[in-house]
Structure 1
């Protein structure tokens, strides 16, 4: 890609997160002020985890692995899998609509 989206409108917040998660893991809010690895709709992506807290990117550009067919650019609806990847939401499934700006054979880049 000849352009770069890294750093665009990045915004992060700290949440409690009892179970350790890896950076790059899509997360969902599970209760007030608490996140966990997402299995379905997700609100952001973990940047780091330490001592029961996770820094979560809530806006801006991210690039994540995907499963299934390569996503097209433009607005797409995604869900997170238990393996930390994203995939196109199945019909009738709650997902999150995101603007895809780039995709290759393994990763999709989109705006949260």
Structure 2
């Protein structure tokens, strides 16, 4: 069987200042002018920290295929609405019930799942 990999195809990476405690592989959100920080639970993420320097700068992948940590149930291959899980990864956005809107997730294309990580297209 042929091996297929999607990691970093079409990667768009930018350097940001950071707030809070970020680790390599954490999803991030814009927290201020030219600045990213950790996402809260149910937050809308803008990318993944590829590297975090001691001087407070981070390389963040904001587009293309990227690997994210996944928690919870319901993330499957295909189009999935994702939100930050508050611990550096993502989870499936909760659907609305009884006419309420639910969580405002980001629709991503999930192309690969492996253990507690997934490759998505942003």
Match of 2:68 among 64, 69, 72: 64
Map 1:6-85 to 2 at 5 A: 6-39=7-40, 40-50=43-53, 51-85=55-89
Gaps of at least 5 residues in structure 2 are 96-101
2:17–2:34 CA contact under 8 A, matched in 1: yes
Q: What's the CA shift for 1:35?
A: 0.5
Q: What's the CA shift for 1:70?
A: 4.8
Q: How many residues align?
A: 112
Q: Partner residue of 2:91?
A: 87
Q: What's the CA shift for 1:88?
A: 0.2
> TM-score if structure 1 supplies the norm length?
0.90
**Moved segments of 4+, more than 4 Å:** none
> TM-score if structure 2 supplies the norm length?
0.83
Cα-Cα RMSD:
1.6
1:22–1:49 CA contact under 8 A, matched in 2: yes
Label 1:105 to 1:6 Cα distance change in 2 as closer, same or farther (>3 A): closer
Gaps of at least 5 residues in structure 1 are none
